[in-house]
């Protein structure tokens, strides 16, 4: 089977759900897209990757997670057509009033995993910081475990939180792992009939003559893409959340296993249906360890 080119999938910059050991993810927010705010400093390893605008405003591009003193993991697509020299890592729950701002000195992207089409491959990158944030403990990461299908994960991000396209605040929610292989529209919608019913509501419009073909042939990249949908009290992944951590507890410790990658918009919500996200397969784990060693 071959993958399908999907220009209607937006590169997510999503606000999803996450928590550290002392932060509950069982709360629910008033806004479906945005989840609930997580101002706790125990989450300060999760920050915004942003660029100051000429007006002085802060423009969050993506979300990232500190995994070593000067290494932040995020999504590869965050750096398409971006002036890396202007980027900074913003520490704190409000990107407009950060506790710390640390200059990005370089970006590295995972380049060994490729797709049979023109999409991202393994959609994972790291930024190397000028210095380590003060008083912030890096988050653990581990290879993605496909046996966790059906498990509720936590996700966090600074992205859009409602149809008014407000962003800048760190928010969290829960998402459920529904597919680790096969077709990603099958993972998102379950059946061809459900996808056919939803297709006319997707924004931009999904071509009616491509629905059945996409359902059959748009395939997840083995080991490097998985499908999540909102869990109980959960949140939708949305632009600005890209690169945000997708986590679960391993032996009682919150552990990062994937990052936010792509999603869909609908006529009802700026972000809808769930997302196709970047899981930490073998090449990604090798890449992350190499970048940590390089930054030391």
Residue with tokens 């077709």, as numbered in its chain: 183
**Residue 169 is encoded by which pair of tokens?**
């605040």
Domain 10-295 has CATH 2.40.10.120: yes
- Between CA 12 and CA 88, with CA 20 as vertex, the angle to 5 degrees is 50
Please give the pLDDT value at position 83: 85
98-147, pLDDT tens digit by residue? 999 999 999 999 999 987 666 678 999 999 999 999 999 999 999 999 99
**Quick check: 226 and 258 in contact, CB under 8 A?**
yes
167-207 pLDDT, tens digit per residue, is 578 888 888 999 999 998 999 999 999 999 999 988 888 88
β-bridge partners, 107: 127
d(C-alpha 42, C-alpha 26), whole Å: 17
- Domain ranges in the chain? 10-295
Closest CA to 94 of 47, 164, 36, 32: 47
Task: Please state the pTM of the whole predicted model.
Answer: 0.86
**Contact, 91 vs 99, CB < 8 A?**
yes
| Contact criterion met (CB below 8 Å) for 169 and 159 | no
Kind plus residue range of the DSSP H or E element containing 73: strand 71-74
Q: Considering only CA atoms, which of 176, 200, 186 is closest in space to residue 4?
A: 186
Question: Which tens digit of pLDDT belongs to each residue from 59-81?
Answer: 668 999 999 999 999 999 999 87
For residue 266, what is the enclosing H or E element?
strand 253-266
**What is the number of other CB atoms lying within 10 angstroms of the CB of residue 207?**
11
Is 70 exceeded by the pLDDT of residue 25? no
Which is nearest to 61 in space by CA: 39, 34, 89? 89
């Amino acid at each position: 089977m071959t993958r399908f080119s999907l220009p209607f999938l937006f590169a997510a910059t999503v606000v999803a759900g996450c928590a550290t050991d002392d932060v509950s993810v069982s709360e629910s927010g008033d806004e479906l897209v945005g989840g609930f705010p997580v101002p706790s400093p125990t989450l300060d390893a999760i920050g915004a990757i942003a660029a100051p605008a000429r007006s002085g405003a802060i423009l969050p591009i993506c979300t990232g997670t500190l995994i070593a003193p000067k290494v932040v993991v995020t999504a590869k697509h965050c750096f398409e057509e971006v002036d890396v020299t202007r980027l900074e890592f913003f520490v704190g729950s409000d990107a407009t009033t950060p506790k710390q701002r640390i200059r990005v000195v370089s970006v590295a992207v995972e380049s060994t995993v490729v797709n049979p089409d023109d999409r991202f491959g393994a959609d994972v990158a790291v930024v190397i910081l000028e210095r380590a944030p003060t008083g912030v403990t890096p988050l653990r990461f581990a290879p993605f475990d496909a046996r966790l299908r059906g498990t509720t994960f936590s996700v966090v991000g600074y992205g859009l939180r409602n149809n008014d396209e407000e962003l800048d605040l760190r928010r969290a929610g829960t998402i459920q792992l529904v597919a680790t292989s096969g077709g990603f529209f099958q993972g998102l919608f379950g059946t061809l009939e459900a996808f056919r019913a939803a297709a006319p509501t997707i924004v931009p419009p999904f071509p009616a003559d491509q629905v059945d073909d996409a359902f059959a042939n748009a395939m997840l990249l083995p080991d490097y893409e998985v499908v999540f949908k909102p869990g109980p009290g959960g949140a939708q992944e949305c632009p600005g959340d890209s690169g945000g951590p997708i986590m679960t507890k391993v032996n009682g410790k919150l552990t990062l296993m994937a990052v936010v990658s792509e999603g869909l918009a609908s006529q009802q919500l700026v972000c809808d249906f769930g997302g196709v996200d970047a899981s930490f397969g073998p090449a990604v784990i090798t890449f992350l360890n190499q970048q940590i060693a390089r930054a030391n």
